[in-house]
């Protein structure tokens, strides 16, 4: 039980002036203030005590008297004689007690430095979203002319994420994410193009699934490692995508393309990443992921199916400037091609056709600079897609293995934080979604003839610590890089509850 320091003998409810030890206690309490009582203001003087307990009390009084002498206080010769006699009588116990206290201090210091109790924290995010797409016609690939009316109904949908984050040492993290959602994708099946997709879309009929399962830990002070068992994504590992204002699907851009460079979407699944801190301003990061790492069949598995290997050098010469250079090599087996992560045109996603195995070398430069509350950033991405099958017929022409195709994308953005309230943000994004152009294919074959432009504006208002609402508008000019297509508008109101 914790005890409290006394200033007067009258504070002890179980000690009265008639007790034989009353005067002795009064001197110890009022003159030397080296006696404490229990929280209920009792002394419990009839309890037996050991010699060690008495020695502890004696040492407390001795320390107090030394403080009084040092401060010029008055201590009687009679009291000093009593103390000398007691010290001589309990000399052995005081010595042992001092050793025990020193040992205890050392053990407590060691435990404070090394002890860590395994803990699991729950972090949750719930999204309620209203969204709709507007325009005259459903987009078609270049150089076709659209004929189908765009008729999209307003949707109201949700996404729920529960993150269980466990640490075993205080420096590591095991994350298990449970997710349920029913947010329809405004993709090529709805608007005719993936350029209109929302950043937070995805539909599994609100069934609960394991959306993330990874373990992150340090090796020394300069190396970090992350292992993803399933559903890993390059942008969620150790890479800095260099787009701090817009990268989050819950609090950043409202569009899929606007979050970060499509290069970070070239692959995912099971795998891992490692980051080396080269200096105070430079970091080298690498990762390898396989789409079907758990599948032992032919053309699947960790090393024999779809994969992505990425490396990035990130430089931060100051706290306000970040620049990165990124390279990725990826492979997609026939029938499962998605070179650009569903962010650009259909030709950019599948440069040759859906049934032809394809590889890609991807190169990117990303940058961001901050001026107080103002953030300016952007990226440029180039991909060289290569046909990995022989004698593939494309638009009636047979092309050989090794035929290549160039894909470009770029974006620039401006973000202003703490606008209207702390935690709020205003953002604008302008760019060109992935576009398939230069190629060894026959003239016009699977080639984007024109240029689409992505225009996005949003305002995230922080209603409270746990609630934020984001109205936003996305405009796609010349969807599918085809100026025969009409402009498509996507509006949304994203409300996020976090806890």
pLDDT tens for each residue of 59-82: 777 777 777 777 666 566 776 676
- pLDDT for the residue numbered 2: 46
Decide which of 68, 94, 113 is a domain's last residue: 113
Specify whether 148 is located in the same domain as 185.
yes
220-247 pLDDT, tens digit per residue, is: 999 999 999 999 999 999 999 999 999 9
Percent of the chain at pLDDT > 70 equals 81
**What secondary structure, in 3-state letters, does 89-115 show?**
HCHHHHHHHHHHHHHHHHHHHHHHHHC
What average pLDDT does the segment 28-34 reach?
65
83-99 pLDDT, tens digit per residue, is: 676 667 667 766 776 67
Q: Say yes or no to pLDDT of 315 above 60.
A: yes
Specify whether 123 is located in the same domain as 208.
yes
Specify whether 252 is located in the same domain as 173.
yes
**What secondary structure, in 3-state letters, does 134-165 show?**
ECCECCCCCCCCCCCECCCCCEEEEEEEEEEE
Q: Say yes or no to pLDDT of 295 above 80.
A: yes
The answer to whether residues 257 and 349 touch, using CB atoms and an 8 Å cutoff, is no
**Structure confidence at residue 25 as a pLDDT band (50, 70, 90):** low
Domains identified in the chain, total number:
2
What average pLDDT does the segment 472-479 reach?
99
What average pLDDT does the segment 280-308 reach?
92
Here the CATH number for the domain that contains residue 302 is 2.40.160.10
Specify whether 120 is located in the same domain as 108.
no
Specify whether 108 is located in the same domain as 130.
no
Lowest mean pLDDT, pick from 113-117, 195-199, 432-436, 495-499? 113-117
Residue 152 vs residues 105, 192, 335, 488, 490: alpha-carbon distances, Å: 70, 12, 29, 11, 10
Which neighbouring-strand residues pair with 318?
321
Q: Say yes or no to pLDDT of 18 above 80.
A: no
DSSP secondary structure letters along 387-437: E-SSSEEETTEEE-TT-EEEEEEEEEEEEEESSSSTT-EEEEEEEEEEEEE
Structure tokens at 393: 């017929």
**Structure confidence at residue 13 as a pLDDT band (50, 70, 90):** low
Which of 181, 178, 182, 180 is closest to 213 using CA atoms?
Answer: 178
Structure tokens at 200: 């937070």
254-267 pLDDT, tens digit per residue, is: 999 999 999 999 99
Average pLDDT for the chain:
88
- pLDDT for the residue numbered 180: 98
Specify whether 337 is located in the same domain as 263.
yes
Phi (first) and psi of residue 297, to 5 degrees: -75, 170
Supply angle C-alpha 402, 403, 409, rounded to 5: 115
Specify whether 472 is located in the same domain as 363.
yes
Decide which of 93, 113, 133 is a domain's last residue: 113
What average pLDDT does the segment 414-422 reach?
95
Specify whether 61 is located in the same domain as 142.
no
- pLDDT for the residue numbered 26: 64
Which domain range does residue 248 map to? Answer: 116-498
Specify whether 234 is located in the same domain as 345.
yes
Cα–Cα distance for residue pair 309/13, rounded to 1 Å: 76
Specify whether 394 is located in the same domain as 491.
yes
Specify whether 72 is located in the same domain as 57.
yes
Specify whether 230 is located in the same domain as 184.
yes
Structure tokens at 356: 């032809």
**Structure confidence at residue 7 as a pLDDT band (50, 70, 90):** low
Per the confidence metrics, is the pTM higher than 0.75?
A: yes
Cα–Cα distance for residue pair 125/467, rounded to 1 Å: 10
- pLDDT for the residue numbered 372: 94
Decide which of 60, 85, 113 is a domain's last residue: 113
- pLDDT for the residue numbered 87: 66
């Amino acid at each position: 039980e914790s005890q409290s320091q006394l200033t007067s003998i009258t504070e002890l409810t179980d000690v009265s002036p008639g007790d034989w030890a009353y005067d002795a206690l009064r001197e110890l309490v009022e003159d030397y203030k080296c006696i404490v009582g229990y929280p209920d203001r009792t002394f419990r003087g009839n309890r037996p005590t050991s010699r060690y307990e008495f020695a502890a009390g004696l040492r407390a009084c001795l320390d107090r008297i030394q403080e009084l002498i040092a401060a010029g206080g008055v201590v009687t010769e009679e009291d000093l004689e009593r103390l000398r006699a007691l010290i001589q009588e309990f000399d052995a116990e005081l010595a042992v007690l001092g050793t025990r206290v020193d040992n205890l201090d050392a053990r407590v210091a060691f435990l404070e430095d090394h002890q860590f109790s395994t803990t699991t924290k729950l972090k949750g995010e719930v999204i309620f979203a209203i969204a709709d797409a507007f325009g005259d016609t459903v987009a078609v690939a270049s150089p076709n002319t659209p004929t189908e009316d765009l008729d999209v109904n307003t949707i109201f949908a949700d996404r729920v994420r529960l993150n269980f984050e466990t640490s075993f040492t205080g420096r590591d993290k095991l994350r298990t994410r449970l997710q349920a959602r029913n947010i329809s994708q405004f993709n090529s099946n709805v608007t005719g193009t993936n350029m209109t997709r929302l950043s937070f879309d995805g539909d599994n009929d609100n069934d609960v699934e394991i959306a993330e399962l990874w373990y992150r830990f340090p090796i020394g002070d300069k190396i970090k490692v992350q292992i993803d068992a399933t559903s890993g994504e390059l942008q969620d590992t150790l890479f800095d995508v260099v787009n701090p204002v817009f990268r989050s699907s819950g609090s950043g851009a409202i569009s899929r393309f606007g979050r970060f460079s499509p290069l970070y979407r070239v692959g995912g699944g099971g795998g891992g990443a490692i980051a080396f801190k080269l200096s105070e301003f430079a970091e080298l990061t690498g990762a390898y992921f396989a789409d079907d790492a758990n599948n032992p069949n032919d053309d699947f598995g960790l090393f024999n199916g779809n994969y992505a290997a990425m490396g990035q050098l990130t430089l931060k010469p100051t706290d306000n400037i970040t620049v990165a250079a990124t390279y990725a090599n990826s492979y997609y087996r026939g029938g499962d091609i998605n070179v650009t992560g569903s962010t650009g045109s259909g030709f950019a996603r599948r440069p040759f056709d859906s049934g032809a195995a394809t590889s890609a070398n991807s190169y990117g430069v990303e940058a961001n600079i901050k001026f107080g509350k103002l953030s300016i950033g952007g990226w440029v991405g180039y991909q060289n897609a290569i046909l990995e099958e022989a004698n593939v017929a494309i638009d009636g022409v047979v092309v050989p293995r090794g035929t290549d195709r160039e894909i470009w994308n770029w974006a620039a953005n401006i973000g202003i934080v703490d606008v209207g309230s702390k935690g709020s943000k205003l953002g604008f994004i302008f760019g060109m979604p992935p576009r398939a152009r230069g190629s060894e294919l026959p003239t016009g074959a699977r080639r984007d003839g024109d240029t689409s432009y992505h225009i996005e504006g949003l305002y995230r208002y922080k209603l409270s610590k746990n609630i934020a609402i984001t109205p936003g508008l996305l405009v796609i000019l010349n969807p599918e890089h085809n100026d025969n297509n009409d402009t498509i508008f996507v509006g949304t109101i994203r409300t996020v509850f976090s806890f």
